[in-house]
Structure 1
């Protein structure tokens, strides 16, 4: 987050090649001395990075073909930009503006803002989740820290079979009932399930649990799994927060982090996505509050 800059490095040696300050003017026209860089992703279409600057609400498309003569496209969106993920086509990057309760979608093909979608309080998608809704076609999902819903936004598709869903594009098509305090939502192309944590919920049982929906029927959760109890770890006074469900590459398993208290054991609890039963509980003394898991 600090200092307010991003650094371009050599991919092999990690030697810094160029440092670029992010100090500047916000989307509201005010100067900000220390705007933080929230997330950086690489375009699938062009030799560009998508750099999201938190306090300014500016999305930067940085063309890295000529680092000495750097070309940057600045796209105004909303404050405060945080984390986000790609739609199913990998053309659009959707990022949360969590102080504005909006999702900004940038079109990396045209280099323009595709949409600014109003959503519920404090969106926190992580990378979000893409799946095909039975009624609305391709959608991207985000949870919320401050609202009791998972929001589904229709995303464009160039496939002919999805042309009938065009009228819904960049609209909130459904708000799936959940609980506040969500950090991450996940699914997998080979799975029928949508998973969401609630790690920041003030209720102990809810914070220690995750919710699973069958995507064929999102009207109600299929089940809420108490990860803390399923872990088999001894009960503690501290809340064991269940966070960041992540699929294995083949979509057969879901790995969930379990934050122990300061002096308590943490764990990673592995579920079978088909049966929703625990397959393995991973513990290690030096594994303290594990969070993100990636493959």
Structure 2
């Protein structure tokens, strides 16, 4: 394997007004007020690194305002108690040059495996209902099922989103400072960890689960690790800061964009070759639609939400916006023959709703505060979102009316996630003396209140793994179009989905749905009893994906 060594030299010049005394005083202030989030060496922990590479786009006036007043819809607090002189001393220090190095040998030396460690039986009832909870204040990750905490393990500075293996039995945990850990749910133990880089943006797994794909800012590039041994497989240098990398479930590829380059990268996860396509402006944030045909993106500086057709290799829709959408937290659903997504906006007190495929803006829904996340599930009639305050905001998916759930006065609601079956809604109160609240997603009753210190993300394989996105939508199509005759596992007026998918291949199922009159004889029926459904391309893909979930393991 080719050895790589990259020495990063940041901030080759210091502001002309800087003096050693100011740097020294600024360093003391930084260690007191900033290091717990941005790291003692400024390389980032739960907040970004503070090197000139990341600061050069900000004027001194802008940096002063951020420190003084904080950043809305983020985890950056205000330091209004600091004097003008103290803030300027901190700015002088963080613009000071810094040397950071990382290489393959350091990755190898960082590997720690606990493969011989004895675990415990977590007595899992359904892996699809497991929820991993990040408790940032205590550097813990919980493994939960239903209302119960089954285990906890230590992991610092979690950032970028946990990822489940394809089976769901292992969960990979990334940290802002480049560490990746793995917990094996089936063995009830923490498997091990590795440090891929100095500063990490996010991780993904290829669709087989063989490789961990790590997008890094220090050094700039993609690190590919073996998912079992954690050994480095490939380092792919990139010229720019990667926004995020996401796997595709439909082919052996991963997609990534840059915060500072107007291109989209497509990584072949078999040979690790990359192809690039130009776009009009950088996608600082994006998501891939549930059927992996489109990329929906925007930038913090941009004023447009755009949709890029992957197959046609061109933009097919754009729309003016105010406030950068937080597209990584976008959620989607199906209603009355149409597919929709909703997204919150940075520093704006609303959620916007959009129609997919026949792309159009639908509505701006006022939430009376700056939110950060929005989630839904087929089991709930609502979009669950936050607005920086102490209430859960519920938006009706039918008429977009708004109501709220009271929590605890003065607390900050952030991030809802659901169990795989949608029965439970897990809501964080993002405070040092915070809570994890578990609601019945239908009745909205509070079922359990668990004290937690700064609980943040919750992760479930059904709701966070890309391959299940069309399955969830397919459940909604089924309830609208198929439920009158078919049930999932029991025969009704027509055969169950389980019976069908275990006796017919996917192409035959699709052909029968599209042309029941032309297929009934080939299937051995004396007459046709199935109506012509006239499903759209997307409805068909969704409902067949849902049907295939009932295929027995031996027939997969």
TM-score by length of 1: 0.74
- Seen in structure 2, the aligned counterparts of structure 1 residues 146 and 133 have a Cα distance that, compared at 3 Å, is farther
SS at 1:283 equivalent: strand
What CA distance in whole angstroms lies between the structure 2 residues aligned with 1:183 and 1:277? 23
What CA distance in whole angstroms lies between the structure 1 residues aligned with 2:352 and 2:372? 13
- In terms of fraction of residues, the more strand-rich structure is 1
What CA distance in whole angstroms lies between the structure 2 residues aligned with 1:45 and 1:113? 21
Within 5 Å, give how 1:14-33 maps onto structure 2: 14-23=230-239
Q: Which residue in the other structure is 1:241 paired with?
A: 412
CA deviation after TM superposition for structure 1 residue 258, in Å: 0.9
Within 5 Å, give how 1:55-94 maps onto structure 2: 55-67=260-272, 70-79=273-282, 81-82=284-285, 84-94=286-296
SS at 1:126 equivalent: helix
CA deviation after TM superposition for structure 1 residue 187, in Å: 0.7
User: Which of these residues, 413, 434, 437, is aligned with residue 266 of structure 1?
Assistant: 434
CA deviation after TM superposition for structure 1 residue 251, in Å: 0.9
CA deviation after TM superposition for structure 1 residue 155, in Å: 1.1
Give the conservation status (yes or no) of the 8 Å contact 2:342–2:352.
Answer: yes
Q: Which residue in the other structure is 1:140 paired with?
A: 341
Q: Which residue in the other structure is 1:197 paired with?
A: 386
TM-score by length of 2: 0.41
- Seen in structure 2, the aligned counterparts of structure 1 residues 71 and 90 have a Cα distance that, compared at 3 Å, is closer
CA RMSD of aligned residues (A): 2.3
SS at 2:408 equivalent: helix
Q: Which residue in the other structure is 1:217 paired with?
A: 399
Within 5 Å, give how 1:110-149 maps onto structure 2: 110=312, 112-134=314-336, 137-149=338-350
CA deviation after TM superposition for structure 1 residue 228, in Å: 2.5
Q: Which residue in the other structure is 1:181 paired with?
A: 370
What CA distance in whole angstroms lies between the structure 1 residues aligned with 2:367 and 2:412? 17
Give the conservation status (yes or no) of the 8 Å contact 2:383–2:394.
Answer: yes
Q: Which residue in the other structure is 2:539 paired with?
A: none
- Seen in structure 2, the aligned counterparts of structure 1 residues 102 and 291 have a Cα distance that, compared at 3 Å, is farther
CA deviation after TM superposition for structure 1 residue 137, in Å: 1.8
Q: Which residue in the other structure is 2:303 paired with?
A: 101
Give the conservation status (yes or no) of the 8 Å contact 2:344–2:374.
Answer: yes
CA deviation after TM superposition for structure 1 residue 92, in Å: 2.6
- In terms of fraction of residues, the more helix-rich structure is 2
What CA distance in whole angstroms lies between the structure 2 residues aligned with 1:179 and 1:57? 33
CA deviation after TM superposition for structure 1 residue 79, in Å: 3.7
What CA distance in whole angstroms lies between the structure 1 residues aligned with 2:312 and 2:326? 26
Q: Which residue in the other structure is 2:223 paired with?
A: 7
User: Which of these residues, 418, 422, 426, is aligned with residue 255 of structure 1?
Assistant: 426
CA deviation after TM superposition for structure 1 residue 105, in Å: 3.2
User: Which of these residues, 434, 459, 480, is aligned with residue 294 of structure 1?
Assistant: 459
User: Which of these residues, 450, 458, 463, is aligned with residue 282 of structure 1?
Assistant: 450
What CA distance in whole angstroms lies between the structure 1 residues aligned with 2:230 and 2:314? 30
Which consecutive unaligned segments of at least 5 residues does structure 1 have?
A: 24-34, 157-168, 200-206, 230-238
CA deviation after TM superposition for structure 1 residue 53, in Å: 1.4
SS at 1:14 equivalent: coil
CA deviation after TM superposition for structure 1 residue 293, in Å: 0.4
Establish whether residue 228 from structure 1 lines up as the match of residue 404 from structure 2: no
What CA distance in whole angstroms lies between the structure 1 residues aligned with 2:222 and 2:318? 25
User: Which of these residues, 257, 265, 269, is aligned with residue 52 of structure 1?
Assistant: 257
What CA distance in whole angstroms lies between the structure 2 residues aligned with 1:75 and 1:8? 24
Establish whether residue 39 from structure 1 lines up as the match of residue 265 from structure 2: no
What CA distance in whole angstroms lies between the structure 2 residues aligned with 1:252 and 1:187? 12
CA deviation after TM superposition for structure 1 residue 77, in Å: 4.3
What CA distance in whole angstroms lies between the structure 2 residues aligned with 1:73 and 1:80? 13
Which consecutive unaligned segments of at least 5 residues does structure 2 have?
A: 1-200, 202-216, 461-556
- Seen in structure 2, the aligned counterparts of structure 1 residues 251 and 109 have a Cα distance that, compared at 3 Å, is farther
CA deviation after TM superposition for structure 1 residue 175, in Å: 1.7
CA deviation after TM superposition for structure 1 residue 101, in Å: 3.4
> Paired residues, what number?
244
Give the conservation status (yes or no) of the 8 Å contact 2:350–2:370.
Answer: no
- Seen in structure 2, the aligned counterparts of structure 1 residues 282 and 102 have a Cα distance that, compared at 3 Å, is farther
Residues 116-146 of structure 1: CA deviation (Å, up to 9, x unaligned): 4433312113331111245x82111111122
- Seen in structure 2, the aligned counterparts of structure 1 residues 108 and 228 have a Cα distance that, compared at 3 Å, is farther
- Seen in structure 2, the aligned counterparts of structure 1 residues 63 and 13 have a Cα distance that, compared at 3 Å, is same
- Seen in structure 2, the aligned counterparts of structure 1 residues 81 and 271 have a Cα distance that, compared at 3 Å, is same
Give the conservation status (yes or no) of the 8 Å contact 1:57–1:81.
Answer: no
Residues 72-113 of structure 1: CA deviation (Å, up to 9, x unaligned): 22332434513x434343433323423213334344445554
What CA distance in whole angstroms lies between the structure 1 residues aligned with 2:382 and 2:408? 21
Give the conservation status (yes or no) of the 8 Å contact 1:98–1:124.
Answer: no
Residues 51-77 of structure 1: CA deviation (Å, up to 9, x unaligned): 12112243211112213xx13223324
Give the conservation status (yes or no) of the 8 Å contact 1:258–1:268.
Answer: yes
